[in-house]
Amino acid sequence: MSESSSVSQRKSRHIAVSCDAVSPVVGSEPFWKSKSLEEMTREEWESLCDGCGKCCLHKLQDEDDADGTPGAIHNTNVACHLLDPGSCRCSNYERRFDFVPDCVQLFPQFISRHTWLPRSCAYRLIHEGKDLSWWHPLVSGDPNSVHEAGVSVRGRVVSERRAGPLEHHIVDWPDL
Ligand code: SF4
Ligand code: SF4
């Protein structure tokens, strides 16, 4: 691996409403199949987050190549200090920018720019024209299914306040 910068990336999570708050079916198809990201209501957009917590992990990015090619991104198991490792949710979602100014907020029109989003991220899946997995709370009807399926960060992360150097925490999880 070439030298990594110390730049980390985070993004905001979008699970401020429970999946019970949104009727998943519009007409004959659920909204994530019948609407584009841009067409979703705020509640639908928020409910699309599966609550995995993977976007709240630090990432390291190699320096850009001489020809301007962006450096590779390396995932770590180091979590933002506001991430609750049990629920995998932000512990201060409404005021997160007061404490974590570099938390990145997602917008429908910019999803394609966020190549660091995990492969399992619902926003990325819908943007790529794919369907949600069985464990997504909107599909299963159970917010815990994302944890029971082993695709959330529950039980496998360390807080940035205790982790030490990020370079010691690079991981190669297949679901990142
Ligand atoms: S502040 Fe931290 S825990 Fe909260 S959404 Fe942003 S990256 Fe995730
Ligand atoms: S990676 Fe995507 S689905 Fe998972 S918590 Fe982040 S925004 Fe939500």
Å from CA of 56 to ligand 1 middle: 5
Residues of the chain below pLDDT 70: 1-27
Mutation choice for ligand 1 from 46, 100, 114, 159, CB with most ligand atoms inside 8 A: 100
Task: Please report which ligand is nearest the Cα atom of 92.
Answer: 1
Is 92 domain-assigned? Answer: yes
Pocket flag, ligand 1, residue 13 (CB < 6 Å): yes
Å from CA of 21 to ligand 1 middle: 22
Per-residue model confidence (pLDDT) at position 28: 81
Per-residue model confidence (pLDDT) at position 25: 61
pTM: 0.86
Domain count, the chain: 1
159 CB-side CA count, 13 A: 10
Are 77 and 95 in contact, with CB atoms under 8 Å apart?
no
Are 8 and 58 in contact, with CB atoms under 8 Å apart?
yes
Is 176 domain-assigned? Answer: no
Pocket flag, ligand 2, residue 83 (CB < 6 Å): no
Q: Which two tokens stand for residue 120?
A: 């399992």
Is 133 domain-assigned? Answer: yes
Per-residue model confidence (pLDDT) at position 26: 54
Between β-strands 103-104 and 10-11, what pairing exists: parallel, antiparallel or unpaired?
Answer: parallel
Are 22 and 52 in contact, with CB atoms under 8 Å apart?
no
Task: Please report which ligand is nearest the Cα atom of 97.
Answer: 1
Per-residue model confidence (pLDDT) at position 11: 52
pLDDT digits 0-9 by tens, 43-84 = 999 999 999 999 999 999 999 999 989 899 999 999 999 999
Structural domain harbouring 159: 10-169
Is 14 domain-assigned? Answer: yes
Per-residue model confidence (pLDDT) at position 70: 86
Pocket flag, ligand 1, residue 124 (CB < 6 Å): no
